[in-house]
Amino acid sequence: MPKNRLEAFSDGVFAIIITIIVLGMTLPASFTVANIQSFMWDIFIFIESGLIIGQFWYSHSQLLDQAKSIPVVGVFLNILFLLVLSLVPLFTRGVMESPDSTSPIIGFVATILITSIIYQLLLYYLNDRNMRVDNWKFRMASFIFVIAIGVISFFSPRASSVLFIIFPIIGWIVKLMSSRAEIK
């Protein structure tokens, strides 16, 4: 399959995912303190989800930029990757609507973990000797962190939702530091 077709399709899906997240938000009916606090929570969760989606998009685009061709198994894994990632808006809305419920954050955590695993398989199948491979220590630390967030959600769903912002922030810091190291 031509690489540019897969890139265009994937970019479109990423854009739709973020659009669906924002369309799931509503302005408060009245601007009471409680409604504004609830709306600020929604904005926080939107930013968190958007940073995670953006991080997956960036990694995915780097991977496809480095790939010379896309085998059929790569196309299949890419579609599976995008299908699972498309569940993020569903669980994002669940976390927005029920911040003190464990189920939405567990769904969110499971979605991120499964998406990450599929991404690693995609990385493996598209990888050749000329491609740069991501830092496996960072990937393992990320898996452990996301699982820990899932465990915390059983005790304090809202706290685990807030802590989850660390995942994309650290991911973006690592990417920024890596890009600076490549420039030097």
Of 5-9, 20-24, 134-138, the one with minimum mean pLDDT is: 134-138
pLDDT per residue over 36-67, tens digit each?
999 999 999 999 999 999 999 998 998 998 88
CA distance 177 to 18: 25
Q: So where are the chain's domains?
A: 3-181
56 burial type by CB count under 10 A (0-12 exposed, 13-18 middle, 19+ buried): buried
Q: What is the pTM of this model?
A: 0.85
Looking at residue 177, its pLDDT comes to: 82
59-77-129 Cα angle (round to 5) = 60
pLDDT tens digit string along 77-108? 999 999 999 999 999 999 999 999 999 999 99
Categorize the per-residue pLDDT at 136 as very low, low, confident or very high, splitting at 50, 70 and 90.
Answer: low
